Structure 1
């Protein structure tokens, strides 16, 4: 029982060392004690042995006839995990089955796969083996990351718990509805159980163990533009100019492998991307408050690199030679201290020429275009996982699993860690070189990758179903502790229609990571090229940039508690079983419900509203009020997704601009959506947006909590409570306007600010219950009180 909410159950070989996920990947204490060793020397074991703690809701019981273990919730007696059905422990094959209460369990997680639904379906199967599949639009196949973690929400009541099998070997997982089965080709059975009981508590406990999500720089919440096929610097300049002319926000330009000399990392094409042209372009971006990001693939051209020991993967007695974009390549061994140091040094050297602001790690499963011969038994395990949906060889499109890392670790064991280790080295290299908060985007991920990197859903296709599926993947990665995630808006492959692209922009404005990226064989789709997409981008991105203070505050919450920014409805409404299957809508934080258009030609949107009051984000009117939750048919807005503010929320906002730095210079406003009982709450986190530490002792930051309460005479009082304030005092930041939604008064209320009545000129009250209080100069970081006295 490692904490009051975390139970660790490990089954290993008492006599022989076996591969485990390294402790520098997931820092954790070594196993000190074994509760019971069920071997012949313990012939007198009791039929069962129970481990429990008065302070924990988890109880563990080991049984000896037959050998099995169970995990139960002490407060309810509910069985959470029960291995009665199957338990096999062999050299390169482990199998365990846990029974589940049919009809009461709703499971989420296990990835990375593109799935039709967010909630796992009966007879779903998951292969966890990081694979360069080429296209992420293929359903149910193993993709770039491995996350053997699921959340189980039990009905009735909505009590949730989490289960992690901490194992980096290849595996198949089958969910049968009344059971879940793991078939693993190595390592140990290393289970962690997280008690919850709320969904938010589960991710808090899970990320406390695997590591909190890395803080992302403020600029990374702006819009990013990329295309594989920008042939030269002039093409980049034209795109930047096009966005500026159309008055569409553009935060960062990205460059795919086009910029490289012969597709070699850390080089520049001397003709199309010479430093003498690229460096001034990047300098101009920086002077305009914009950023520049480039791609890196985790391979080094063989002919351009010395063959250094402990720097690259080894195979069959020499450095492994594979084939990727540059031709014959070596693969850095990021498990080796020298390999990581080599990578970090190359990043620093490259930034002397082009001071990139972030790095994009692609192809890091790792991909390999060369078919490699079978070398030993590792290349052909006794159980063949369902790789790529056809039981494909585990060496397929990757380095051979018989290759070795530092200290003789086999790729067989460490394969799924490669992307994690590259992202860590890239993060550390940027941090060391810039002394600022790194931004790293990684395609391949593992448990704990969120400590170092953001993620995107990979090479998606320009199809309506792909847009819908993106929500499922984004929700899943929120559970995995990687909240900064998005999908290529309008699709990477295939030709998008104007309607699809416009609707995808409206959805993508509420991805935590918002990027457009397309393949060079497709039609151009920069958002200014079509008037319909330009209108959607101006409207939807304007809304997003207005909400940046709220989004960034949620990043702070994610970094400190693991709470995902985009989350399923049941996170806030676990008692409402109707929310368990909702995956065409989502919450952004607790305060916003997003209901995008997901079908071609749609004129309406079918949306579910949980119990409470819901206000339109666009006109502040009370749109839905329900005590039990209900389905509502909404109009399909032309240029934006339907977005509603949850009653009981206070959202900080600023004014939109074409860059985040300019938006940050505008006045603050507060949107106060009152619950039926007249209460609301929210908070605002501020810092410089780039210090390595977010909310720590070595950085300057401000956190203000806002609350609203109903007074006995029918009025309301809103207060600010300053939790911490070392950033705001020198910035002259002020709240200029507060909008109250959901008031009930026959006439214009009276408003008092810190005890002084506000003049009528600063008050506007509408019959739909919206009160706007403007002309304020409330200093952020100082206490204030606003009293609204109702007229009768």
Structure 2
């Protein structure tokens, strides 16, 4: 990093033969009390990140000057350059043809915006401006995109490892009219053999939409019984909690307790309290959310954590929920045109309040701490709408209130890729859309895509009909098949999330992460990968029964049939994709752990495991399996001696698969490695040996048409093994 001559001018160089610049200021630097601005010359137009917003492409455009705000707000996900629920002033640039990359975080929580444009000499420019704080830049040097994810999460915090059950499919909606309605939805999906691990309940269950209450009429009064019934079927229950507490200080205990502990946000001074402040509300800041007049818990106040934890614990004694969904935490108020809330008038009109800097930093960690106290030793589940750099340590994320349109389904892929870049790898959109009535084709295609969101949930809003998969026979059939595939490869997804948690690896990745030197891959944002192994190419256009798929260089196989698709490349290929088909592929060079699926992860985790071996062009492959009890906290201080976690490394070379135990554990004592599926077998094998012993010929079968060998091994999972194919 050097001064480049002018006041405030800086340059950062990469020490390579070409000494490429990856941070270069141009033009004047503005640094005032309420206006900070810096102009940057970027090393290429391959710019990604900066959110949260509804970006039309993963790759930013420079052809026309575009300015986009960054400020957390409760906003339906309309298309266009507008701010959404979270703030992530973080971007990545691919510098050259080799894919050398760097990234930059502007660590600032004030309202800001950015502009992309071309400088007078035709090089790409980026302007970052904010109304407070400091210009605290963190420059990460990569040199590859996956390295940047590891470096970034090392800086802001590694993402949490979610409980295994949360990887399963979930049903939800705002608009369940009773516990009986929920029972009917769950029953019809179970009857259709559609997997379900999670049932989420929106504000319908509350009394007058107040946190920590149950509607006292007969439609919801038996909620505790419903929760127990779902638990008996292996289904977990998530309840919504909005950080907005009704201002009833006479008959609503959470508000009364909060007043007694003085945990609500206050006006800076009493002379700022509006004239129309509600009776008894004192100098608390009052907004309007679902319960009506509301107080906002001040989660920067240490007392608030104790109050919140106790309210959560007391309510859990009534309803045994398993996780927490935090909505409306931007924060939000419906009453911007109802209340006379306004900033005091002075020479600035809008003074530098401390609250302005804190607005976009919701303390979601406090919600997690409450659940940790409730479930000691277990990994809590928190789903948050608003996020900030580092939120991945505490929460997973969904992309907010979307619409039931093909365009919004398409944009959800971009949102998922961006949040993996932001260090929040478990993310997804409301499958079939939150607002609107999806027709059968749209919901079918969205269910296929949603089965490969890292967080998979069908959710919609009040006023629209049920849209769970079992509503339509055709959607039910597709959901049954595609969710079975999801559940089959959950051990692989879980391993990816473990690596993200421990090392910072990518989970849902753009093709450019795997192929950073591939110029075509840099613009592909309608395909994505799970790790380095599975590529998903969803159908995102109405009426389409085929699509163009880009295959970067490598050996590619069909995930479902195992048959080879492309060897060599790179190439574009038009593939058939009738309504019941989701194009899925495996990149050669990986060993994918899988498990025979079931209707819940409680059931599937008892089933035998297997591996899909997909050799690369050199005939080699490798992979990893992480396994534990699915819910216990990991012991990072003594991980090598942690008997709760199991690690096995797989390596395939010279026609032999080896499984080496890296970390042993009793959690796999009852599990077997039952199946080995080897792809790319071009000639009929003479035999298969397991640990040096010939496998009976009736325990393996070779499909010459697809080039797939399937062997039944029935090996103890916790022991080293070898499986050799002889020709």
Match of 1:319 in 2: 284
Compare 374-383 and 690-699 and name the one that shifted more.
Answer: 374-383
Deviation for aligned residue 1:274: 4.5
Spell out the pairing of 1:126-145 with structure 2 (5 A cutoff).
126-133=68-75, 135-145=76-86
Contact 2:102 2:143 in 1 (8 A): yes
Q: Tell me how far 1:378 sits from its aligned partner.
A: 9.2
Do structure 1's residue 282 and structure 2's residue 227 form an aligned pair? Answer: yes
Question: Which residue number corresponds to residue 195 of structure 1?
Answer: 141
Task: Give the equivalent residue in structure 2 for 1:302.
Answer: 247
Q: How many residues align?
A: 692
> 1:64-213 residue pairs with structure 2 within 5 A?
64-75=5-16, 76-101=18-43, 104-122=44-62, 123-133=65-75, 135-177=76-118, 178-213=124-159
Distance 2:449 2:403 in 1: 16
**Aligned positions of 1:589-668 closer than 5 A:** 589-627=531-569, 629-668=570-609
* Corresponding residue of 2:277: none
Cross-structure match for 2:274: none
Cα deviation for residue 319 of structure 1 reads: 1.3
Matches within 5 A, 1:326-365: 326-365=291-330
Aligned counterparts, 1:447-462, within 5 A: 447-462=389-404
1:377 and 1:551, CA in 2 relative to 1: closer, same or farther beyond 3 A? farther
Q: Does the 8 A contact of 1:739 with 1:770 survive in 2? A: no
Which structure 2 segments of 5+ residues have no match?
119-123, 271-282
Match of 2:716 in 1: 779
Deviation string 1:717-753 (CA, Å, 9 cap, x unpaired) is 1111111112445x321111101111222x3332111
Distance 1:649 1:473 in 2: 26
Give 1:248's aligned residue: 194
Task: Give the secondary-structure state (helix, strand or coil) at the position aligned to 1:205.
Answer: helix
Relative to structure 1, the CA distance from residue 272 to residue 173 in structure 2 (aligned partners, 3 Å threshold; closer, same or farther) is: farther
| CA-CA distance at 1:529 after TM superposition | 1.2
Distance 1:439 1:186 in 2: 33
Equivalent residue of 1:447, what SS? Answer: coil
CA gap 1:521/1:70 in 2 versus in 1, 3 angstroms: same
Equivalent position SS for 1:375: coil
Contact persistence 1:567–1:588 (CA under 8 A): yes
Alignment partner of 1:762 is 2:699: yes
1-side partners of 2:487 and 2:713: how far apart? Answer: 22
1:722 equivalenced with 2:661 (yes/no) = yes
Matches within 5 A, 1:436-515: 436-515=378-457
Evaluate the alpha carbon distance shift between residue 505 and residue 380 of structure 1 in structure 2; reply closer, same or farther with a 3 A threshold. farther
Matches within 5 A, 1:350-749: 350-371=315-336, 372-376=340-344, 410-418=354-362, 421=363, 423-435=364-376, 436-627=378-569, 629-693=570-634, 697=639, 700-710=644-654, 716-729=655-668, 731-745=669-683, 747-749=684-686
Take 1:251 and 1:686, find their aligned partners in 2: how far apart are those partners? 19
- Note closer, same or farther for the CA distance 1:727–1:86 as it changes in structure 2 (3 Å cut): farther
Q: Deviations over 1:569-613 (max 9, x none)?
A: 011111111100000100111100100111111021111000011
Could you list the runs of 5+ residues in structure 1 that have no partner in the other structure? Answer: 1-59, 384-400, 403-409, 711-715
Tell me, yes or no, if the aligned pair for 1:310 and 1:336 is still in contact at 8 Å.
no
- Residue by residue over 1:87-110, the C-alpha shift from the partner in whole angstroms, topping out at 9 and shown as x without a partner, is 111111101011123xx3301110
Partners of 1:622 and 1:768 within 8 A in 2 = no
Deviation at 1:771, TM superposition (A): 4.0
Contact 1:252 1:290 in 2 (8 A): yes
Aligned-partner SS, 1:465: helix
Q: Distance in 1 between matches of 2:284 and 2:678?
A: 66
SS at match of 2:68: strand
Tell me the secondary structure at the aligned position of residue 591 of structure 2. strand
Change (3 A) 1:638 1:64: closer
Distance 1:719 1:86 in 2: 60
Q: Return the offset for 1:114.
A: 0.7
1:57 maps to none
Change over 3 Å in CA distance of 1:603–1:378 after alignment to 2: farther
CA contact (8 A) 1:556 1:694 kept: no
Q: SS where residue 528 of structure 1 aligns?
A: helix
Q: 3-state SS of the aligned residue for 1:151? A: strand
- SS in structure 1 at match of 2:209: coil
Matches of 1:67 and 1:602, distance apart in 2: 53
TM-score, normalising length: structure 2: 0.93
1:192: Cα distance to partner?
Answer: 0.1
Preserved CA contact (<8 Å) 2:22 2:95: no
TM-score (norm 1): 0.85
Question: Which residue of 2 is the match for residue 21 of structure 1?
Answer: none
Q: Counterpart in 2 of 1:53?
A: none
Counterpart of 2:178 in structure 1 is 232
Q: Cα offset for 1:66?
A: 4.3
Give the Å deviation of 1:693.
2.1
Residues 289 and 379 (structure 1 numbering): CA distance in 2 closer, same or farther, change over 3 Å?
farther
Task: Give the CA RMSD over aligned residues.
Answer: 1.7
- What is the distance in 2 between the residues matched to 1:334 and 1:92? 25
Decide whether aligned partners of structure 1 residues 273 and 417 sit closer, same or farther in structure 2, where only a CA change above 3 A counts.
Answer: farther
Counterpart-to-counterpart distance in 2, 1:65 and 1:614: 52
Q: Secondary structure at the match of 1:596?
A: coil
Task: Call closer, same or farther: CA 1:461–1:379 in 2, change over 3 Å.
Answer: farther
Question: 1: distance between equivalents of 2:348 and 2:483?
Answer: 50
1:660-686 per-residue CA deviation (whole Å, 9 max, x = no partner) reads 111111111110011111100111100
Alignment partners' CA distance in 1, 2:83 and 2:408:
16
Per-residue CA deviations over 1:620-644 (Å, capped at 9, x if unaligned) read 10011124x1100010133231000
